[in-house]
């Protein structure tokens, strides 16, 4: 049985100076009801906590670590640059090289700017959209998460739907400038444009909804957004903070044959360092040029350490066969999980695309389509599964509404062992719930 004594002691001390002992809320493990862990080190696919427990990592920094932890090429690049300076407040050749590589990777974009987080990237993209159109309304999808800026956390107070990131402190006028739509709901989206089309500045969407666990877009849904934006003069923003460079070398919009106006990147392109980026057609990006209509600035934007790590990471991603191998690993995990679920008679559905997947913890083999479906899941079962997986040496996201992230560092054995542990953990959790709630659990 693993011990978490040292982690618990450190968190108890940490809570006196940091709210909940963490600087980002999910790290407190509140959504899974367990004791959070303090990490001592991480390498490849493994994390070691301060109590000496070793976990195979399927959280991967919420998807930022496609290469795994402390990839040698990235570590060496950071070390070389650190000796030359970490931040100087000026541009560098590393910034221009990274910008050129990302622009070349994705035909939908012509220019790019770097910031320090996905939140900043999306915040600025929406600001550009409002400046370009002279409109205020923003359409976003229920259950998606686009960072914690005011405009992206705003929601109509009378919407009557469950949304993510509900918070006080948002000015009421911003709440009135957001329209909510259920993901994949074509009829609702058309209705919103019919009623408000001449006031909609932009639609922002995750091409694959990765903040609902994992929800795939229905065929034609992204194309409909493009069509409606064109008809009404609104901008189409693709939030690729999670999906960018995950499935191909560039934005997933290329694979989907979608041409968005603006794209946001983050996570993977930083190679494990803090990064965000917004990119798009030059006519939109020129709004942030000096003396133009939109202001954005940041001391640490495109700092040399991040640019060095990012270029080193892209060197690896660009190697022949990299994404083919990731897809193979995804197939291995897919087959292994389905085999385990069949063996244990588990009625849950596993959905995957590339090296990203998610289990729908509900008694249905129909894929989830929207946040309404997401909220029908058995969250209490996932709470038990999360704890059991930790005891078995596997780290999953401390929230049911996050995906399972595969990295290049995972071996076939890691994937097979994870599937076995997941099957056993889910089976045990289901058995406990059948015993406690025999009438309420229709499994």
Residues serving a catalytic function are 145, 239, 267
CA distance 181 to 142: 6
CA distance 215 to 205: 12
CA distance 315 to 179: 40
What are the distances in angstroms from CA 420 to CA 2, 57, 164, 389, 400? Answer: 19, 15, 32, 10, 19
Q: Three-class SS of residue 224?
A: helix
**H/E run at residue 54:** strand 54-57
**What is the DSSP secondary structure assignment for residue 247, as one 8-state letter?**
S
Q: Which of 411, 425, 385, 395 is nearest to 48 (CA)?
A: 395
The pair of structure tokens assigned to 395 is 């780290």
CA distance 200 to 192: 9
Q: Could you give phi then psi for residue 223, rounded to 5 degrees?
A: -65, -35
**H/E run at residue 429:** helix 412-436
212 Cβ contact partners less than 8 Å away, ≥ 6 residues apart = 143, 144, 183, 368, 371, 374, 401
**First-last CA distance in the chain:** 30
Q: Which of 109, 56, 66, 138 is nearest to 413 (CA)?
A: 56
Q: Is the Cβ–Cβ distance between 264 and 207 less than 8 Å?
A: no
What are the distances in angstroms from CA 245 to CA 65, 109, 192, 258, 437? Answer: 11, 14, 32, 16, 44
Helix spans in 41-154 (H): 60-63, 72-82, 93-105, 118-133, 150-153
């Amino acid at each position: 049985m693993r011990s978490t004594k040292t982690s618990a002691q450190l968190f108890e001390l940490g809570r006196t100076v940091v709210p909940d002992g963490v600087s980002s809320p999910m790290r407190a493990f509140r959504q899974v009801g367990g004791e959070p862990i303090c990490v001592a080190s991480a390498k490849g696919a493994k994390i070691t906590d301060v109590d000496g427990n070793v976990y195979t990592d399927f959280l991967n920094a919420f998807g930022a670590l496609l290469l795994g932890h402390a990839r040698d090429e990235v570590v060496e690049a950071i070390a070389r640059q650190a000796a030359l300076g970490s931040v100087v407040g000026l541009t560098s050749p590393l910034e221009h090289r990274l910008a050129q590589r990302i622009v070349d990777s994705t035909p939908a974009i012509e220019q790019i700017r770097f910031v320090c987080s996905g939140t900043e990237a999306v915040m600025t993209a929406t600001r550009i959209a409002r400046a370009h159109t002279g409109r205020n309304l923003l359409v976003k999808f229920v259950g998606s998460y686009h960072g914690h800026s005011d405009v992206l956390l705003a929601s109509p107070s009378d919407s009557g739907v469950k949304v993510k990131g509900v918070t006080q402190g948002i000015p009421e006028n911003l709440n009135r400038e957001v329209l909510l739509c259920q993901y994949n709901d074509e009829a609702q989206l058309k209705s919103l444009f019919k009623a408000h089309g001449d006031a909609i500045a932009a639609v922002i969407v995750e091409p694959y909804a990765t903040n609902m666990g994992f929800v795939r877009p229905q065929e034609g849904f992204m194309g409909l957004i493009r069509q409606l934006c064109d008809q009404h003069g609104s901008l189409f923003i693709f939030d690729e903070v999670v999906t960018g460079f995950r499935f191909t070398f560039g934005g997933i919009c290329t694979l989907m044959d979608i041409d968005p106006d603006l794209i946001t990147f983050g996570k993977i392109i930083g190679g494990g360092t803090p990064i965000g980026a917004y990119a798009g057609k030059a006519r939109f990006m020129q709004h942030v040029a000096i003396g133009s209509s939109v202001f954005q600035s940041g001391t640490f934007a495109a700092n040399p350490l991040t640019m060095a790590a990012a270029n080193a990471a892209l060197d690896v991603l660009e190697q022949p066969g990299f994404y083919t191998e990731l897809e193979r690993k995804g197939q291995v995990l897919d087959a292994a999980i389905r085999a385990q679920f069949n063996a244990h008679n588990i009625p849950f559905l596993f959905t995957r695309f590339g090296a990203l997947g998610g289990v729908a913890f509900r008694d249905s083999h129909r894929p989830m389509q929207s946040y309404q479906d997401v909220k029908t899941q058995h969250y209490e079962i996932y709470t038990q599964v999360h704890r059991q997986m930790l005891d078995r040496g596997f780290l999953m996201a401390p929230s049911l509404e996050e995906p399972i992230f595969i990295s290049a560092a995972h071996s076939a054995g890691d994937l097979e062992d994870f599937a076995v542990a997941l099957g056993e953990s889910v089976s045990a959790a289901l058995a406990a719930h059948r015993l406690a709630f025999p009438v309420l659990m229709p499994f």
